[in-house]
Structure 1
Amino acid sequence: MNTSTVNIAFRKDLLKMIDQIAKSESRSRSELIREAARMYIERKNRWKMIYDFGEKTAKANDISGDDILKEIKEYRKSLER
């Protein structure tokens, strides 16, 4: 695996929590932070895909942002009954 070393600064309390979790899971601080970065990137990519799908669907069905807000308001009103 091709790797690069980086320096990162954390608040002491955050670093303590990172170390506690890493220890409880029997892995290194680096492994925990790498996984956190991967998970963050995956989540960002999933949300982008969802957003892009919504945009594409809205355009294909001629739905505006105002139409969506109207539907949300109507739905919330129906829950109050």
Structure 2
Amino acid sequence: MNQTVNISFEKALLKEIDKIAKREHRSRSELIREAARAYIEKKSKWQAIFDFGVKSSEKSNLTENDIFAEIKNVRRSKKAS
């Protein structure tokens, strides 16, 4: 079931939206719906990655300082190569 909502955009942004929609032979609504879906999907994937990182660090008792130290070690070894 679709629901209509009112959203305000700055003129320049709306002009860009309309330009892309026209170029892709789609409606403004289709383009904005796809943009919202892509944004939500991207945010969900990043949240899953962060959640995995938190769980992994809790299991291994790593601290933030341990991680930074390991990053420095890896960078140092790459510079030496």
Answer yes or no: same fold by TM over 0.5: yes
CA displacement at 1:57 relative to structure 2: 0.8
Q: How does 1:1-81 map to 2 (within 5 A)?
A: 2-81=1-80
* Rounded Cα–Cα distance in structure 2 between residues aligned with 1:30 and 1:79: 48
CA displacement at 1:60 relative to structure 2: 1.1
CA displacement at 1:80 relative to structure 2: 2.6
Question: Structure 1 regions of 5+ residues with no counterpart?
Answer: none
Amino acid at match of 2:38: M
Q: RMSD between aligned alpha carbons?
A: 1.0
Counterpart of 2:4 in 1: which secondary structure? coil
CA displacement at 1:72 relative to structure 2: 1.1
* Rounded Cα–Cα distance in structure 1 between residues aligned with 2:67 and 2:37: 32
Cα deviation code 1:15-42 (max 9, x no counterpart): 1110111111110000000000001001
How many positions carry a matched residue from both structures?
80
* Rounded Cα–Cα distance in structure 2 between residues aligned with 1:9 and 1:75: 47
TM-score (norm. length: structure 2): 0.91
